[in-house]
Amino acid sequence: MFHVVLVEPEIPPNTGNIARLCLATGSVLHLVEPLGFSIDDRSLKRAGLDYWADVDVRVWPSLTGLFEATGESKRYFLTTKATRPYWDQSFQPGDYLFFGRETRGLPESLLQAHPDQCLTIPMERDSTRSLNLATAVGIVLYEAIRQTRVNGV
C-alpha cells in the first residue's frame, strides 16, 4: 500500500517496531544504508518478533539508488524542520514516506532539494524536540491509510 523509507536508521528496536507496522499495513519497508546495526541483530528481530521474515524489506546502498529505482514516485519527507502538517497532504497508495535517523533526522541537502514535499508532525509543546521514530512512522502511515479508506482509494 505505502512505502516507508528509513534513511540510515540507528536503533534496532525502532526498526523492528516499524517492520511490524509495515507488515500489519501491507507496506514495504526500505532501509537506506549505512545502518546503525546489522539486519541479523537480535534486538531488531526481537522488536519485530517472529514477523521479520514476512516483512517486505528492501535495503538500498544509497538514496540515489532508491531514487533511480523508484522514478517519479511521490515522495514525502518527514522532518521537524517543516511547517506543513502531515494531515494537509493528500496521500495515495504507493507514496513513499521518508524518515531520518533518530539522532539527526533527514539530511539537510535532501530537505532543501524538496521543500514542497516536506511535512511535519506538529508538537503542541515547544519543549518536545521530536517523537520516537516508530511513533512518528505509525502516526503518518495510519493517517495515509485513513485518507485512502475515507476517499475510497
Q: What is the pLDDT of residue 98?
A: 98
Q: What is the pLDDT of residue 129?
A: 74
Q: What is the pLDDT of residue 57?
A: 93
Q: What is the pLDDT of residue 44?
A: 60
| Residue whose cell numbers read 519527507 | 77
CA 15 to CA 29: how far, in whole Å?
Answer: 9
Q: What is the pLDDT of residue 13?
A: 86
pTM above 0.85, yes or no: yes
Q: What is the pLDDT of residue 51?
A: 77
Which residues, given as ranges, of the chain have pLDDT below 70?
41-50, 127, 151-153
Q: What is the pLDDT of residue 43?
A: 62
Q: What is the pLDDT of residue 48?
A: 54
CA 65 to CA 12: how far, in whole Å?
Answer: 23
**Using CB atoms within 10 A of its CB, is residue 28 exposed (0-12), middle (13-18) or buried (19+)?**
middle
Q: What is the pLDDT of residue 111?
A: 97
CB 40 within 8 A of CB 132: no
| DSSP string of 63-82, one letter each residue | HHHHHHHHTT--EEEE-TT-
CB 86 within 8 A of CB 136: no
CA 102 to CA 140: how far, in whole Å?
Answer: 16
Write down all domains in the chain, each with its CATH number in brackets: 3-150 (3.40.1280.10)
| Residue whose cell numbers read 479508506 | 149
Structure confidence by residue, pLDDT tens digits, 102-118: 999 999 999 999 999 99
Nearest by Cα to 59 from 9, 96, 106, 108: 9
